[in-house]
């Protein structure tokens, strides 16, 4: 078997988010987030779970950083909890929250691990939702800019890689369209308004960083999620449906960043429901990312809805009825515990689509991983036939894309630890390191040990 070498300087990292691991939800001056409250609503979270304790990363971060070092990771992507550093989302700063992240950053650097910091991974300060309607209010962009200013000021001397938003599609569709995630709203108009304000907020934060903090010499971008959409058949209608689905999913957020406006197909189909960028907003958002951050997990077949009306629609990018696209899975595909199909070639195809559409940007896969029902046997988790096989397959897809000329520069495995998986609670495990939630003891899995060897050799 020919060994697959990755480019020199390729970044190997792992990732987490604040609400999923930190715990300490009401300690040391932290304010409540929309997820703190959403988890108290009956029947919203599996088993009534919540992130109140998480894996207690807030108190055990040094132990967790030691695990990262032992596995060879050179980069760690984590998010800052906005309400931990600004309890009401604006105004007063919580210095104890600032101290926590400052200590975490110092610990990472002391262990030769570069911090990649996400400013927003869904845990909006509750006060901004209750008093300002959250992402529906255009004023949110100024609040986000002020929050970003605080983070750049306090941490930018040591943090050189920033991500403004994680998966604004999820915030917009699951939070404001389907009601499945916080703040739990259902609408066919609010997702597009929330998305618009998310993009403007991102653009303002980037503009601030590039002007006021240019001396810090860092990079800043946005991370979007997207599944690959493969045409169900080679019929013109299905080929167009797959392309339309990708533009409603990824183009919705990436086109403004690279072209300054939404995809034409969205404007045609949505009409007045899709906000318009002002000339100033378009100027700010265009070119507002130093890299293309991508979270990718799965693939589905796409067909024109009129051609395939009985298809089993299991999820979509953008509101499904606005696209006229039906989605299906191949029954032979392996499924994760989230019912997401394992399709490594879809990862390769998506990377190539991004390179072609957006003029070959530098791409970082900022999340990719496999959820399964891990079992601890004699103090160990053997996930070599599930999670490890998934990583091998998807990394082979990444390597194929690189061989085809795609400028993929890094890969972050999701996730470093088993964690609170949002509406799925603690049942769907993504982590490379098993966490016993009764004792909060960390144990590396087979996939984690494999990653350590992969990083050391930089090859599959």
Report the candidate in 38, 30, 59 with the shortest Cα–Cα distance to residue 422.
38
Q: Are strands 299-304 and 292-295 parallel, antiparallel or unpaired?
A: unpaired
Q: Are strands 363-367 and 299-304 parallel, antiparallel or unpaired?
A: unpaired
**Residue 133: C-alpha distances to residues 1, 89, 185 (Å):** 56, 12, 11
Query: E-assigned strands of 109-155?
Result: 114-120
Query: E-assigned strands of 260-332?
Result: 292-295, 299-304, 325-328
Under 8 Å between Cβ of 113 and 161 = no
280 is catalytic: no
Under 8 Å between Cβ of 127 and 172 = no
Question: With left for phi above 0 and alpha for psi between -120 and 50, is residue 324 left, alpha or beta?
Answer: left
Residue 424 assigned to a binding site: no
Helix 140-155 and helix 190-212, axial crossing angle in degrees, nearest 10 = 40
Under 8 Å between Cβ of 436 and 418 = no
For residues 212 and 283, give the distance between their C-alpha atoms in angstroms, rounded to a whole number: 18
Cα separation of the two ends of the chain:
10
Question: CB neighbours (10 Å) of residue 403?
Answer: 10
**Three-state DSSP class for residue 99:** helix
Residue 421 assigned to a binding site: yes
Question: With left for phi above 0 and alpha for psi between -120 and 50, is residue 440 left, alpha or beta?
Answer: left
The one catalytic residue in 167, 190, 243, 400 is 167
Asked if the peptide bond before residue 243 counts as cis, ω within 30 degrees of 0, the response is no
For residues 368 and 390, give the distance between their C-alpha atoms in angstroms, rounded to a whole number: 10
Q: CA angle at residue 90 from 150 to 146, to 5 degrees?
A: 40
- Answer positive or negative: Cα dihedral of 106, 296, 38, 42: negative
Which residues partner with 292 through β-bridges? 222, 363
Under 8 Å between Cβ of 415 and 15 = yes
Which stretches within 249-328 are classed as H helix? 252-259, 264-270, 279-285
396 is catalytic: no
The one catalytic residue in 22, 107, 367, 400 is 367
Residue 8 assigned to a binding site: no
Residue 122 assigned to a binding site: no
Residue 20 assigned to a binding site: yes
Catalytic residue positions?
A: 167, 367
Binding site, by residue number, is 20, 121, 166, 297, 414, 421-422
Binding site for substrate, by residue number, is 20, 121, 166, 297, 414, 421-422
């Amino acid at each position: 078997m020919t060994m697959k070498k990755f480019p020199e300087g390729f970044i190997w990292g792992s990732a987490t988010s604040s609400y999923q691991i930190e715990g300490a939800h009401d300690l040391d001056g932290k304010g409540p987030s929309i997820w703190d409250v959403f988890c108290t609503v009956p029947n919203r979270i599996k088993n009534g779970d919540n992130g109140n304790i998480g894996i207690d990363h807030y108190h055990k971060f040094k132990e967790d950083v030691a695990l990262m070092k032992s596995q060879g990771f050179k980069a760690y992507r984590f998010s800052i909890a906005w309400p931990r550093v600004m309890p009401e989302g604006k105004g007063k700063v919580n210095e104890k929250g600032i101290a926590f992240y400052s200590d975490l950053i110092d610990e990472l650097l002391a262990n030769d691990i570069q911090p990649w910091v996400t400013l927003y991974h869904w845990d909006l300060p509750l006060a901004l939702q209750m008093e300002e309607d959250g992402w529906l209010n255009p004023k949110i962009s100024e609040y986000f800019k002020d929050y970003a200013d605080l983070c750049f000021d306090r941490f930018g001397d040591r943090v050189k890689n920033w991500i403004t938003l994680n998966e604004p599609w999820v915030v917009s569709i699951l939070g404001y369209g389907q009601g499945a995630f916080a703040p739990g709203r259902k609408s066919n108009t609010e997702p597009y308004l929330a998305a618009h304000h998310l993009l403007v907020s991102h653009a303002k934060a980037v503009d601030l960083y590039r002007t006021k903090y240019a001396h810090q010499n860092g990079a800043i971008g946005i991370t979007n999620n997207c599944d690959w959409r493969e045409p169900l058949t080679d019929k013109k209608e299905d080929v167009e449906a797959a392309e339309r689905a990708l533009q409603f999913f990824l183009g919705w957020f990436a086109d403004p960043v690279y072209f300054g406006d939404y995809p034409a197909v969205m404007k045609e189909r949505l009409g007045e429901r899709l906000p318009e960028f002002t000339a100033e907003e378009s100027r700010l958002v265009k070119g507002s990312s130093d890299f293309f951050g991508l979270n990718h997990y799965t693939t589905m077949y796409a067909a024109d809805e009129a051609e395939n009306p009985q298809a089993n629609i299991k999820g979509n990018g953008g509101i499904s009825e606005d696209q006229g696209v039906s989605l299906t899975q191949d029954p032979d595909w392996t499924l994760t515990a989230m019912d997401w199909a394992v399709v490594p070639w879809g990862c390769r195809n998506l990377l190539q689509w991004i390179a072609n559409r957006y003029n070959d940007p530098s791409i970082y896969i900022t999340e990719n991983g496999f959820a399964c029902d891990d079992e601890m046997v004699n103090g160990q988790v053997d996930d070599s036939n599930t999670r490890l096989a998934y990583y091998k397959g998807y990394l082979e897809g990444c390597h194929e894309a690189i061989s085809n000329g795609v400028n993929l520069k890094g890969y972050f495995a999701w996730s470093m630890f088993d964690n609170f998986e949002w509406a799925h609670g603690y049942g769907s495990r993504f982590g490379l390191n098993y966490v016993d939630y009764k004792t909060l003891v960390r144990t590396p899995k087979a996939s984690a040990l494999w990653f350590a060897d992969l990083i050391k050799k930089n090859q599959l």
